[in-house]
Structure 1
Amino acid sequence: MFTGIIEAVGEIRRIEPKGQDVTLEIATGKLDLSDVKLGDSIASNGVCLTVVALSSDSFCADLSTETLKRSNFASASRGARVNLEKAVTPTTRLGGHLVSGHVDALAEVVSRESTGRAIEFWLQAPEHLARYITEKGSICIDGISLTVNAVDGARFKLTIVPHTADETTMKGFQTGTKVNLEVDQIARYIERLMLGDKAAVSEAQPQSDVMALLGRTGFLK
């Protein structure tokens, strides 16, 4: 579990294909690895990766075909910068929101504009995830806990203050940049719970039925 508050920006040092899978070595920059051991989790661009090898300034992780399919690591290259966060401890300040590191899909930056000292981004999410994104709700982009400031269909706006831009990879985001997207866990669990006994049916519930059920129970106005 993570909070989405980035601790360091690292860099991909090595990419080693292994059949359909990949092993990455990530140089960790200023991230303190003194309390990290084999088997621990480190969120890398919002993807929960398991440490399989460790040095004083880097770690290695294996990426499955599922991870490559859902994240921007499929197109990653040596030297690419990544946002890093170690897993939370019971005493960690929850400065962002609850982030699992289980990326849902890719989103795409569709516009970037400076507003005062801040940067405003509009991003396009996959249509099937739009129902989980709400104004003033939380969202995780490349591992960063952010507040959604406006929503227009499957598009949403983020306003990035200078500190966040300086301490993450967001300063380098441009129109067309593909980013890892994780929606708020609570929204997903509510939708699943509202299915009740229908959740046990093997075939997926049509979205229209789910939305009708949420409407009948007062969750949609």
Structure 2
Amino acid sequence: MFTGIVQGLAEVISAEHRENFMQLTLALPPANCDQLQLGASIAVNGTCLTITHFEDNQVCFDLIAQTLSTTNLGQLQVGDRVNFERAARIGDEIGGHLLSGHVHDLAEVTRIERSPNNCTLWLKTAEKWRRYIFDKGFIALDGCSLTVKNCTDEGFCVGLIPETLSITRFGFITEGDLINLEIDSHTQAVVDSVERYLEHRSSN
């Protein structure tokens, strides 16, 4: 489980591709490497990955076909930087909202509006996910817990504060980039339950 509070940026050291498989190695900031363990989970651009090997501050992960087809991790190249968050522990402060690290889909950045102290990011999403996205609702983008600013017929937008821009990959995002999207599980459960109830009522 994760909180959506990105802890920083990790650098891609290697990305070895094989058929429907990739082995990814990241360099984490040394300050975030205490008590690393094999089998532990780290969210990379919001995707829950399992540590398969580590040495000093370099951490390795295996990515299978489902992960590569659903997320933006398959596009990574050496030198790229990614958002990371180590798994939450019991007693940790939940500063964002609870995330599973199971990415639902990719959202495309269609427009970026920047000013000295603000940044608005506009994204296009698939229709099947838009019914779960509401003004002022929670959304996770590349593992970052954010509040939806406005919804449109094709997607939504979020506002990014300077702190978010400084410690996450949103500081150097560009139009056309694909962002990992995880919708809020509680919102999804409520919407699905209401839709099933209404469908049941209309059929009786």
Q: TM class by shorter-chain length?
A: over 0.9
Tell me, in whole angstroms, the C-alpha distance in 2 between the residues paired with 1:156 and 1:214: 30
> In the alignment, which residue of structure 2 is the partner of 1:159?
159
Tell me, in whole angstroms, the C-alpha distance in 2 between the residues paired with 1:60 and 1:30: 15
Tell me, in whole angstroms, the C-alpha distance in 1 between the residues paired with 2:35 and 2:66: 29
Given that 2:39 and 2:51 are in contact with CA atoms closer than 8 Å, whether structure 1 keeps it comes out as yes
> In the alignment, which residue of structure 2 is the partner of 1:199?
none
1:71-86 → structure 2 map (5 Å cutoff): 71-86=71-86
**What letter corresponds to residue 179 of structure 1 in structure 2?**
I
Tell me, in whole angstroms, the C-alpha distance in 2 between the residues paired with 1:214 and 1:87: 39
Tell me, in whole angstroms, the C-alpha distance in 2 between the residues paired with 1:109 and 1:214: 37
Residues 215 and 170 of structure 1: is their aligned pair in 2 closer, same or farther, counting only changes over 3 Å? farther
Deviations 1:82-137 (A, max 9, x none): 00100001111100001110000100111111244011111111111001111101
**What letter corresponds to residue 152 of structure 2 in structure 1?**
D
Deviations 1:151-200 (A, max 9, x none): 11231111101000001010111111111000001122234445xxxxxx
Tell me, in whole angstroms, the C-alpha distance in 1 between the residues paired with 2:175 and 2:41: 31
Tell me, in whole angstroms, the C-alpha distance in 2 between the residues paired with 1:144 and 1:184: 12
Q: What's the TM-score once normalised by structure 1's chain length? A: 0.86
Q: What's the TM-score once normalised by structure 2's chain length? A: 0.93
Deviates more, 1:46-55 or 1:71-80: 71-80
Which of 190, 195, 199 lines up with 1:213 in the alignment? 199
**What letter corresponds to residue 213 of structure 1 in structure 2?**
E
Q: Which runs of 5+ in 1 are unaligned?
A: 195-208, 217-221
Q: Which runs of 5+ in 2 are unaligned?
A: none
Given that 1:8 and 1:30 are in contact with CA atoms closer than 8 Å, whether structure 2 keeps it comes out as no
Tell me, in whole angstroms, the C-alpha distance in 2 between the residues paired with 1:188 and 1:78: 36
**What letter corresponds to residue 65 of structure 1 in structure 2?**
A
> What secondary structure does 2:91 align onto?
coil
1:87-126 → structure 2 map (5 Å cutoff): 87-126=87-126
**What letter corresponds to residue 144 of structure 1 in structure 2?**
C
> What secondary structure does 1:52 align onto?
strand
> In the alignment, which residue of structure 1 is the partner of 2:148?
148
Q: State the identity %.
A: 34
Matched, 1:172 2:158: no
> What secondary structure does 1:79 align onto?
coil
Residues 17 and 167 of structure 1: is their aligned pair in 2 closer, same or farther, counting only changes over 3 Å? same
Deviation at 1:147, TM superposition (A): 0.5
